[in-house]
Structure 1
Amino acid sequence: MAKYRRLWFLLIGILAVTFTLLGYFGAEVYREAPPIPDRVVSADGDTLMTEESILDGQTAWQSVGGMQLGSIWGHGAYQAPDWTADWLHRELETWLEIAALEEYGQEWHSLSGQQQNALQYDLKTEYRTNTYDAATSTLQLSERRSEAIARTADYYSRLFSDAPELQSTRENYAMKENTLPSAERRERMTEFFFWTAWAAATERPDSEVTYTNNWPHEPLIDNRPSGENVVWSLISVVLLIAGVGGLIWAWAFLRKEDEEPQAPLKDPLSAVGLTPSQKALGKYLLLVVGLFTFQVMLGGFTAHYTV
């Protein structure tokens, strides 16, 4: 036991450090989480949604599969799109269409490059600016953005219903018809989708990155990887390679090899006979192989129709 004491102390030290880091960063995740406002209001003061309705929307989304059907903030299935990224891009494009008609009386694609650049600057300013008031837990939105949200929500409400014009889209996303039958629950779900997109586009207080660290990539509002993202990604890769290399080096040069054992003159197993219970198991061999093969085939069948 004495010769292993140093190794025990080393193990305890490593566990203490790793669990301390895990606990610290776990607490930071909750502390730095995007706020859910008590009220989301338009410029006129009309209540668009509440914390309760946003959380109800999360429940509605979970009821249709949650991360098994698309994903939120990039954590989910490969089936269907990431709803945060999809909502954000659609809302931004809708905002630009509304702004083009209001400012220039033309559709977005008909504007000159200078006009488009001016609107994109306004778009970036409006979306990245944090208008959440922590004192009152209220998020205020412009009338133009409120209209863009309403139009985007209408698309999702039709997508998760049985609207015939979006049947092919549902088929491409492997979504069943009338995915979420209740119109009220669809409305709540769109409010949850909006909140996730708001967090992805809005900068943290006193920061130049969004609540999701500039994820997803969205050129319309300059959502690109920050310098901190790049640096820590490189550091993590370097540390991983260095750690693996260190283990290989330690195994090759520091370990003490045991003496090669002497092989017996006769195979010890040759003197052992099968017991009656072991012989009885032989009849189940084909059954086990058959069930295993069936399980593999069923898994492939399910994966095929899921993707």
Structure 2
Amino acid sequence: MFLRTGLMQYGSIYGHGAYLGPDFTADYLNRSATLVRDYYGGEKSAGAGDRTVGDYRVNRYDETTGTLVWSDAQAAAFTELTRHYAGLLGSPDGKQGLRPDAVTDPEEIHDVTAYFGWTAWTAAAERPGHDYSYTNNWPSEPLVDNEPTGHTVTWSVLSLIFLLVGSGALFAAFGRWNFLGWHRRDHRELRFHALDRVRLTPRSGPRRGSSW
């Protein structure tokens, strides 16, 4: 349903997609974590922050039944965010590149909100046997103690370096060898046919005896 309604052309999941709208993974994670913290007493409560982190970092997925269990606070946040996304995706205004009334069916709103919530869970819940999430803690969210891992930073930097080095090598190769690059067109030779080999075309004009 997310793809069928064209939401990938409006927002993104895990940062992949269009940037007219929000990254729904990061958006859901931040909004839901804020609501969960408020559920536990908000900023003034000494234990609200730790309980919020526990709700998101502890992996409650049961592989035997295929069931993901949320806390009562997370379930309440889901209900609130369902109303939020119903207003965002069902708006008749069509702002920021989203077509008017993109998603209005209550069941589809529920399903797409659940999808956002699932991606947020994969970004925060610790994968079995590790102290980081299924997405290496990406996107990051301080409210759930979700900081990018060293591997995330290392491979991001290396990917950027490889991109720059590869692009530089490609441009250098095209500039060095003419048969690869754009100089090939500039080096074309201009040739002329010998006059005795050029076939003349018949003259076109008025017939004899006619006037202009």
TM-score, structure 1 as length reference: 0.52
1:174 to 77, 97, 122: 97
The 1:271–1:71 alpha-carbon spacing in structure 2 relative to 1, beyond 3 Å, is same
The 1:247–1:158 alpha-carbon spacing in structure 2 relative to 1, beyond 3 Å, is closer
Give, in whole Å, the separation in 2 of the partners of 1:239 and 1:138: 40
Q: Which residue of 2 aligns with 1:212?
A: 135
Q: Which residue of 2 aligns with 1:81?
A: 22
The 1:236–1:155 alpha-carbon spacing in structure 2 relative to 1, beyond 3 Å, is closer
Q: Which residue of 1 aligns with 2:77?
A: 148
Higher-RCO chain (CA-CA 8 Å, sequence separation at least 6): 1
Give, in whole Å, the separation in 1 of the partners of 2:172 and 2:139: 39
CA contact (8 A) 1:94 1:152 kept: no
1:161 aligns with 2:83: no
3-state SS in 2 of match to 1:204 = coil
1:195 aligns with 2:195: no
3-state SS in 2 of match to 1:85 = helix
Q: Which residue of 2 aligns with 1:41?
A: none
Give, in whole Å, the separation in 2 of the partners of 1:71 and 1:205: 26
Give, in whole Å, the separation in 2 of the partners of 1:248 and 1:153: 50
Q: List gaps (5 residues or longer) in structure 1.
A: 1-59, 101-107, 256-265, 277-307
Q: Which has the higher helix share?
A: 1
Deviations 1:119-162 (A, max 9, x none): 11111121011111112212112112111111111211222224
The 1:98–1:213 alpha-carbon spacing in structure 2 relative to 1, beyond 3 Å, is same
1:90 aligns with 2:13: no
Q: Which residue of 1 aligns with 2:61?
A: 132
CA contact (8 A) 1:72 1:83 kept: yes
Task: Figure out how many residues of one structure are paired with residues of the other and give that number.
Answer: 185
Matches within 5 A, 1:1-307: 60-100=1-41, 108=42, 111=44, 115-116=45-46, 118-162=47-91, 171=95, 173-239=96-162, 267-268=190-191, 270-271=192-193
Give, in whole Å, the separation in 1 of the partners of 2:166 and 2:3: 39
3-state SS in 1 of match to 2:32 = helix
Instruction: Letter of the 1:202 partner, please give it.
Output: A
Instruction: Letter of the 1:91 partner, please give it.
Output: S
CA shift at 1:250, angstroms? Answer: 9.3
RMSD over aligned CA atoms reads: 3.2
CA shift at 1:247, angstroms? Answer: 7.8
3-state SS in 2 of match to 1:61 = coil
TM-score, structure 2 as length reference: 0.74
CA shift at 1:72, angstroms? Answer: 0.9
Instruction: Letter of the 1:137 partner, please give it.
Output: G
The 1:248–1:125 alpha-carbon spacing in structure 2 relative to 1, beyond 3 Å, is same
Give, in whole Å, the separation in 2 of the partners of 1:249 and 1:78: 33
CA shift at 1:181, angstroms? Answer: 2.7
Q: Which residue of 2 aligns with 1:28?
A: none
3-state SS in 1 of match to 2:68 = strand
